[in-house]
Amino acid sequence: MTYGKLFEEGRIGALRLKNRVVMPAMGTHMANASGEINDHVIEWYAARARGGVGLIITEVFAVDGVAGRSGPSNPRADSFGFTVMLQRLIDAVHAEGARIFVQLQHPGCQTTKHNNDGNDLLSPSGVRCGILPDTPRALETREIARLVGAFVTSAVNCQIAGADGIEIHGAHGYLVNQFLSPHTNKRTDDYGGTFEKRMRFLDEIVAGIRAACGPVFPIIVRLSVEEFVADGITLEEGVRMARHLEDRGVDVLNISSGIYETMGTIIEPISSEQAWRVHMAAAVKAVVKVPVIAVGVIREPAVAEAVLEKGQADLIAIGRGLIADPDWCRKAEEGRESEIRRCIGCLTCFGEIISGRRITCALNAEAGYEHQYGDVARDGIGRKAVVVGGGPGGMEAARVLAERGFRVVLFEKRAAVGGQLLFGSQPLGKGKIMWFVEYLVAELKRLGVELRVNAEADLETIRKEAPDALIVATGGDPIVPRIPGVDLDHVHTAESVLAGQVVLSGERIVVVGGGLTGCETAAWLASKGNEVSVVEMRDDLCIGVMPINRFDVLGELERQHVAIRTGQSLAGIGKGTVTLKAAATGEVEEVTATAVVLALGVRPSAGLFAAIAKHFPKAKLVGDAVAARRIAEAVGEGHRAARRV
């Protein structure tokens, strides 16, 4: 398919873009603690520019690096001293043919004192962010003037460094958004109350930057046109704000939604539909003449093209899609859609950021490590490689080995490759997981990997292959507890249920295990007409799961009317009952169950590796065969092992 609209020239005033694809601002946590960017940051952006994106908008740069930082490695633009490395970044992006804007931001109340060396958090009215611990204080008028100046100074620094323009972050509940929203702005002076007064802080920033940087230096405003809180900005008012900003000389409107309290509308869970936010951009585009950027789970070129064809936006933001595949644009433009590693929305990237670590990607092991990895060495020169196990770790290992030029044979004991992803894709809203399986299968075929399914490798099989490189990715086996009745016919594993080996309908089911797999399986079974309960020995469900995905699956449990029993463990199984034991008191309870589904995790299946280790001392063990973890660990280990053998 060709994408005539997506890859035609875009324009921002007099500035020309080679296409209409925008990489929006996304935090990386790779800058130095001082706020200076480094070679890791530069190569992160250069890789996306090299991949063909038309416009890059950087992660947030602080306009106040002392008391206005979003995190411990927040880049800064508030001092001229930070422009040297910023200029290197801009030059690297320009060298690859892309344009680059710097996003300027002050977090206001949406940060912590810890991030700001104990300094007070600032906001229009002292309203605390509902999901953060520290209460801000209200800004005095003189402080507002200082912050307007900080935005202007930072914009000037970016212009001097060679940036093509700047974006003011007026969305997602940060300081500018806090002034715009009646949810956080309770002021009664010239900066609050009426619509015009709530707009004043942003108006003064725009006017100040325009005066200092000149009439043709482009300004984008990122705007949450719908906050999804009862007393917040509604789409109707958001559209009015967009029209107001156009009248004030803003060159582009980047249309988003949400604040921290409604985070799932900013960073969406895996279940979100593609392009679900586009109607917001369309509502703005209907009333303005300046270019409008649409964002929101746009993963496939055909979806992006359709948005442009319908006239719903002028530019398309591909965010997490460019984390998963920096070459998204080039592959789409060249008609190589099957080679695009589509983001599945697992939120590994965001989970790492909120945990204080650098950005990574479950599907793309090189994300965040571009500077270290570099290109894959082409040194296989026809040598033989064997991979045992066709889950994500094994398939990624086979892919990289084939890229290196090895002749690769992959053994998979099941009838199809995919491993745990085949089961994990079955619950409600999890279908995108199969995108990664489809990508890996297509890549293995393109690279000439020999797939042997229904083939369980043993020591003798591997010896006959005489491999020069050997990677074992045999995965894990479901944990089955040693309790009375566990071997009864109506007791199943979540894996067997999700694989379709067992079909349950009209049953009273107890799902044992309240982790992510157990909860997703329970909701899925309830949607099939079963009466379902989840039993978890801890005090809550989905402990340790990234909050956005956790809230998503808990909401699905509620919608499917799944009963929840926390603080209880499975003590025994009868023919029509299960016996549960209270963790706190030891009290025993018998519950009716015509079917039992065990979702207690997996344990490593490393027997083959133990058997072959002395015969193949350089063999590598990866994935769940090492320890049961996430896709990210399996893919990362498979990738690294394949680079190093």
What is the three-state SS of 176-201? Answer: HHHHHCCCCCCCCCCCCCCHHHHHHH
Residue pair 432/475 in contact by the 8 Å Cβ criterion: no
386 three-state secondary structure = strand
The residues carrying an active-site annotation are 174
CA 6 to each of CA 256, 527, 628: distance values in angstroms, whole numbers, following the listed order:
20, 39, 41
For residue 205, give the nearest of 216, 185, 191 by alpha carbon: 191
* Integer Cα distance of 34 and 78 in angstroms: 12
Task: Say which residues have a Cβ less than 8 Å from residue 404's Cβ, sequence separation at least 6.
Answer: 376, 377, 378, 379, 380, 642, 643
For residue 284, give the nearest of 317, 238, 251 by alpha carbon: 238
246 three-state secondary structure = helix
Task: Say which residues have a Cβ less than 8 Å from residue 585's Cβ, sequence separation at least 6.
Answer: none
Map tokens 């015009």 to a residue. 196
Task: Say which residues have a Cβ less than 8 Å from residue 122's Cβ, sequence separation at least 6.
Answer: 67, 68, 106, 108, 109, 136, 137, 139, 143, 147, 175
CA 184 to chain centre: 27
Question: How big is the CA angle at 336 (ends 334 and 337), to the nearest 5 degrees?
Answer: 120
Residue 415 half-sphere exposure toward CB, CA atoms < 13 A: 1
The token pair at 475 is 């995965």
Other CB atoms within a 10 A radius of the CB of residue 579 amount to 19
Other CB atoms within a 10 A radius of the CB of residue 617 amount to 8
DSSP string, 85-103: HHHHHHHHHHHTT-EEEEE
Question: How big is the CA angle at 69 (ends 66 and 71), to the nearest 5 degrees?
Answer: 130
Map tokens 């940087």 to a residue. 213
The token pair at 434 is 């199969």
> Helices 39-50 and 83-95: crossing angle, nearest 10°?
20
